[in-house]
């Protein structure tokens, strides 16, 4: 059956497997980058009033553009409420609300609040994640390695507990290690090679234990990187694309997938859209 205008709009906006979809994503990428640049530049107080007025007009232009995009997504998706309550739906809403809130929050006493709300425009940068092709691979790798990373973090926590208890026993409260939690804080800072220096061992046994903790930190610091890298290599062998489920809006399904990996809904075919249709 031929696609309706809503289905065609959905394919262009939510997916990037067609020329129109790729052009939409590239254009939106540039708009997001420019809008974030405008928001960052507008925070510079040394600029002239004329420059701030120009930046303000640009901010309204970007706000209207992203508002139209948000409405288009609500119109074309089969379940608007699901998109509106999703992570990216809330991000899209947070990206346009501050500019409109300036119109309904007048008064000098609310200038500080408005200035704080305008900082939410920086959330537009989170929309970039949707348009990076490698994001699905990275998400898959992190999801696949979460158990290994959890075991690794648990091991580090156990190590920090043991090192903290030993350091508390060796140094004691008179040298700054007033409790085991504070000694654990020192152990975590030392094992992670951060080294704030606000608390340090003074005795020879404590310094020997600190040296052991530093060596352990250097020996295990590359473990999570290796775990995630291995999963990235495995995920790259079958890279997902930008196919999006119409029911739950889950992204990144394999080209051969027939059903959504999250909700089980049947995925629509990958029939390409022509630029003339």
Confidence of residue 143 (pLDDT cuts 50, 70, 90): confident
Confidence of residue 87 (pLDDT cuts 50, 70, 90): confident
CB proximity list for 100: less than 8 A, separation 6 or greater = 63
- Look at residue 117 in the predicted model and tell me its pLDDT: 54
- Look at residue 131 in the predicted model and tell me its pLDDT: 64
Per residue in 240-267, pLDDT (tens digit) is: 555 677 667 666 666 667 777 677 777 7
pLDDT at 1 over 60: no
What value does the mean pLDDT of the chain take?
Answer: 78
pTM: 0.56
Q: What angle do CA 269, 260, 26 make, to 5 degrees?
A: 65
Per residue in 175-201, pLDDT (tens digit) is: 889 898 999 999 999 988 888 888 889
Instruction: Give the integer Cα–Cα distance in Å for 99 and 39.
Output: 11
pLDDT at 116 over 70: no
- Look at residue 277 in the predicted model and tell me its pLDDT: 37
Q: Which of residues 5 and 256 earns the better pLDDT score?
A: 5
pLDDT at 71 over 90: yes
- Look at residue 252 in the predicted model and tell me its pLDDT: 60
Confidence of residue 208 (pLDDT cuts 50, 70, 90): very high
Q: Which long-range contacts (CB under 8 A, 24 or more apart) does 218-222 make?
A: 218/193, 220/152, 220/156, 220/191, 221/192, 221/193
Instruction: Give the integer Cα–Cα distance in Å for 237 and 96.
Output: 38
Helices 146-171 and 135-144, packing angle to 10 deg:
60
- Look at residue 109 in the predicted model and tell me its pLDDT: 40
Confidence of residue 120 (pLDDT cuts 50, 70, 90): low
pLDDT at 272 over 50: no
């Amino acid at each position: 059956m031929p696609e309706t205008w809503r289905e065609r709009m959905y394919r262009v906006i939510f997916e990037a497997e067609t020329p129109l979809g790729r052009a939409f994503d590239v254009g939106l990428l540039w708009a997001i980058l420019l809008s974030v640049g405008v928001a960052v530049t507008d925070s510079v107080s040394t600029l002239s009033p004329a420059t701030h007025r120009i930046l303000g007009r640009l901010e309204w232009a970007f706000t209207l553009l992203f508002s139209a995009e948000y409405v288009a997504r609500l119109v074309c998706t089969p379940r608007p409420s699901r998109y509106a309550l999703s992570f990216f739906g809330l991000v899209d809403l947070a990206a346009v609300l501050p500019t409109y809130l300036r119109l309904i929050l007048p008064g000098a006493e609310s200038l500080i609040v408005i200035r704080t709300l305008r900082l939410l425009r920086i959330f537009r940068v989170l929309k970039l994640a949707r348009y990076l092709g490698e994001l699905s691979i990275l998400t898959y790798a992190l999801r696949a390695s979460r158990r290994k990373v959890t075991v690794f973090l648990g091991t580090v926590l156990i190590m920090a507990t043991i090192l903290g208890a030993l350091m508390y026993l060796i140094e004691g409260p008179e040298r700054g290690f007033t409790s085991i939690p504070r000694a654990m804080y020192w152990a975590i800072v030392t094992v992670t090679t951060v080294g704030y220096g606000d608390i340090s061992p003074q005795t020879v046994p404590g310094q020997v234990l600190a040296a052991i903790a530093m060596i352990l930190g250097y020996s295990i610091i590359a473990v999570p990187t290796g775990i995630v890298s291995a999963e990235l290599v495995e995920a790259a062998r079958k890279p997902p694309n930008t196919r999006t489920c119409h029911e739950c809006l889950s992204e990144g399904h394999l080209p051969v997938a027939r059903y959504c990996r999250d909700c089980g809904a049947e995925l629509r075919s990958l029939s390409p859209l022509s630029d003339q249709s």
